């Protein structure tokens, strides 16, 4: 473990306060995460995020009183691998992999509740918190993880949870892995077979399934009526009278007077 003394001295020479220089030195030091947290807490004056785990099934809530130094959030596209002869392995995108949130930290024992780095108002016995998390994992309860000062506000399940008691202060060191909750539509075998049978029958009959609408055929021509002009036909068929010039360009040989069309004149329409 090595403290960044040179960095502290440089910051002081640049005019920063001793406290700020020490905090910056701790951030770039070789101290382990736990010791760095203890040292920063002793100096005070650090604004940290709040981390909440809320059980959506029971309404129970855990507010971490020792905030992890680092929380990892993983979001990535999911790829399916295929082996193709003479081309080697090819990876194709196949949806999105569920987000994952994980961290390692400590549930401090009661002897640490007076320390500045512990949010005393949120303190609970480590054994009580461990019991809650184990119960939530075993029952598969859906939770919400909320981390202030970040954009993490996610419905999750507990994927993995492990812990150990260390030291003589009643501390419990733990690691937790959360995976985003995604609602799944579960169908019976009979329902799946019925859907397949309906799809097969539709493909044979050519009748589209209920709820779908066949596309209307694209109009390629129009026949004028008495009193119509190129402008009025463009308004009706092309969505705007200003498109009369397109009509005229395509039907120049048939149109003698753009303001007075002969009834029964068949005009070609441009594709919209």
Confidence at residue 133, expressed as pLDDT on a 0 to 100 scale: 95
What gap in Å lies between CA 155 and CA 167, rounded to an integer? 34
Query: Averaging pLDDT over each range in 65-69, 82-86, 140-144, which range is the top one?
Result: 140-144
Which residues, 6 or more positions from 222, have their beta carbon under 8 angstroms from its beta carbon?
Answer: 233, 236, 237, 266, 267, 269
**Residue 179 C-alpha from the chain's centroid:** 12
The whole-chain average pLDDT of the chain stands at 75
Say which residue the tokens 């701790």 belong to: 26
Confidence at residue 263, expressed as pLDDT on a 0 to 100 scale: 84
Q: Residue 202: is its pLDDT beyond 60? A: yes
Taking the alpha carbons at both ends of the chain, their separation in whole angstroms is 72
Confidence of residue 15 (pLDDT cuts 50, 70, 90): low
Output the pTM of the full model.
0.49
Confidence of residue 68 (pLDDT cuts 50, 70, 90): confident
Q: How far is CA 219 from CA 6, 222, 250, 269, 271, in A?
A: 79, 8, 15, 7, 8
Domains of the chain: 1-46 (no CATH), 48-207 (2.40.30.200), 221-268 (3.10.350)
Q: Which DSSP helix (H) or strand (E) runs through 199?
A: helix 189-205
């Amino acid at each position: 473990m090595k403290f960044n003394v040179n960095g502290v001295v440089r910051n002081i020479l640049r005019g920063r306060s001793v406290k700020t220089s020490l905090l910056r030195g701790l951030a770039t030091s070789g101290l382990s995460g736990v010791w760095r947290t203890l040292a920063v807490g002793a100096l005070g004056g650090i604004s940290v995020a709040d981390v909440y785990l809320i059980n959506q099934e029971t309404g129970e809530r855990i507010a971490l009183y020792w905030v992890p130094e680092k929380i990892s959030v993983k979001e990535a596209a999911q790829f399916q691998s295929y082996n193709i002869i003479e081309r080697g392995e090819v990876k194709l995108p196949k949806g999105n992999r569920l987000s994952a949130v994980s961290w390692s930290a400590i549930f401090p024992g009661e002897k640490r509740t007076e320390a500045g780095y512990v949010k005393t108002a949120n303190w609970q016995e480590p054994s009580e918190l461990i019991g809650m998390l184990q119960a939530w994992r075993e029952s598969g309860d859906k939770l919400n993880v909320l981390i202030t000062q970040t954009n993490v506000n996610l419905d999750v399940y507990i994927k993995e949870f492990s812990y150990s008691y260390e030291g003589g202060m009643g501390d419990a060191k733990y690691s937790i892995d959360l995976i985003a909750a995604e609602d799944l539509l579960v169908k019976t075998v009979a329902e799946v077979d019925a859907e397949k049978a309906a799809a097969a029958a539709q493909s044979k009959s050519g009748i589209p399934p209920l709820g779908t609408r066949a596309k209307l055929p694209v109009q390629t021509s129009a026949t004028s009526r008495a009193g119509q002009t190129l402008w009025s036909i463009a308004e009706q068929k092309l969505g705007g009278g200003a498109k009369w010039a397109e009509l005229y360009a395509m039907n120049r040989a048939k149109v003698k007077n753009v303001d007075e069309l002969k009834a029964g004149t068949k005009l070609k329409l441009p594709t919209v």
